[in-house]
Amino acid sequence: MDAEKDNGQSQAPGAGPLSVVRDGQIHRVRPLDRGALPPIAEARPEAIRAAVERARAAQDAWRTRSFDERARALEAAARAMLERRNEVMALVEREGGKLPVDAMFTEALGPLDAVSGWKRVAKPAMRQRVRLNPLAFPKKKARIELVPRGVIGIIAPWNFPVSGLYRSVIPALMTGNGVVLKPSEHTAESSAWLAKVLAEHLPEGLIEVVQGGGAVGAALLESGIDACVFTGSCATGAKVRVRCAELGIPSSVEMGGNDAAIVLADCDLDRTVAGLTHWALQNAGQSCGAIEIAYVDARIADRLVRRLGDAWAKLRVGQGDFAEVEVNPLTTERQLAIVEAHVADALAKGAKLVTGGRRVEPGLFYAPTLLDHCTERMDVVREETFGPVLAIVRVDGAADAIRRTNEGRYGLGASIWTSDLARAERLAERLDVGVVTVNNHSMTGAIPDLPWSGVRATGFGIANSALSLTTFCRPKTLLLDANDAPEPFWMPFDASTFELGDLLADAQLMRVGRAWKLPLLLAKRARRIKQFFR
């Protein structure tokens, strides 16, 4: 994700303040109109350590509850979130600029589905029986259990301040952990709302919130947590990963994406135009899985660009009743400045502005922007813009598009738009990214069953699916042996021990000429060991 979402205090040249810290409080602006938001008090290091200890004390009893009991408590909290959805929609509109219709679908609708999905994913993973070969391991049975790590520290971004936590907070709690959450300072109240509703249905202290910027995130790492989930910039993500390794705690670090859509000549143009529009502009493009580049087969590029340009020019942004606006504002002044800088860079290097390319008052709105004839020399192609901008790169077919996608700095997701699904499957195998979607994009991020991960600068952290659970749990093996006799390979060693091993090696190679000796050797070894220990 972009450099700001790590909750740091850095500032782009020419940008307005990301946040102003004064007298231990963070002062922020409202994206819809640049009005002042209530300041947020920064947590001090001693308060952070106390929050971790409260979570640890509550977790000690929580982990002993049955999985189903923990799931029922989370289901009750999710139902309460749905009942109170208007509260959170108002918060994310005020803090993040997310308009009600967008907030309804991306923040308010999902908690119960998320809890149900995590129950489906996590329950079978928590205890797994392992089938052992009865000949090689007679009278033995084994299982693997996932044991909660303790207290999970979660450093969250601002772009999905509620739903973005479904894939970290919910599985952490469901698997028996406590949680200390550090929201982004830009959406502090929205993320705290989720924690508050959860806390009403959980043991006191099990989920704690510490507010503040980058310094608070750094202090959380030093506070005694047992694992960390971080979503943010490459630079800060690398520091988090290194520090967690030094502290000896696991981390899952996601550092964003610059997703590409590969548009082939045989695509369904109606669906493709609609799909690219949604996944490039939803939440004003402020999503690590947004489509930021479209590699378009040159044979259909003119038609696609014309239709996109016509559609985007009609979208309402920044004026009139906010209930009528279709594209959110940017969330911070700094993010708006990054978008403007990337567009200016593209135009200076030869891109054609099809539509947009300007601020729209009031607030931090930016017109949906379509740029044609883009190249890898431009920031809109090389870097993550994280705004309502789509760069069109004309290519010579699928192979050219795949090569360019794989050469990109990031490797979170990509989509292929085509009417030939069999061909799309073959092409997907050649894409070096974490998530490939055909004739859709990004939606798998909301499905607990499917891993959300990437390569290269995106990092190798995993969200969602059973594969992510090792951040929250450690594996513990249990083997039960019902044998009453010693194992034939146990001490004391003698020539019969070696002969037994040699015979077993031949058996694995399907050389069965000496197989008749096996029961005799086993009986001999049993007698030898029994006599030795009398």
C-alpha–C-alpha distance, residues 7 and 9, integer Å: 7
Alpha carbon of 317 to those of 35, 91, 174, 320, 338: distances in Å? 18, 20, 40, 9, 19
Least Cα distance to 308 among 322, 291, 329 occurs for 291
* DSSP assignment of 229-296: EEES-HHHHHHHHHHHHHHT--EEEE----EEEEE-TTS-HHHHHHHHHHHHHGGGG-STTSEEEEEE
Q: Quick check: helix, strand or coil at residue 314?
A: helix
Given the structure tokens 């093996």, which residue do they identify? Answer: 477
Least Cα distance to 256 among 434, 18, 391 occurs for 434
C-alpha–C-alpha distance, residues 483 and 506, integer Å: 26
Pick left, alpha or beta for residue 7 (phi over 0 → left; psi -120 to 50 → alpha; otherwise beta): left
Cβ 85 vs Cβ 104: under 8 Å: yes
Active-site amino acid positions: 254, 288
C-alpha–C-alpha distance, residues 524 and 528, integer Å: 6
Q: Quick check: helix, strand or coil at residue 145?
A: strand
Pick left, alpha or beta for residue 289 (phi over 0 → left; psi -120 to 50 → alpha; otherwise beta): alpha
Q: Quick check: helix, strand or coil at residue 336?
A: helix
One-letter amino acid at 108 equals A
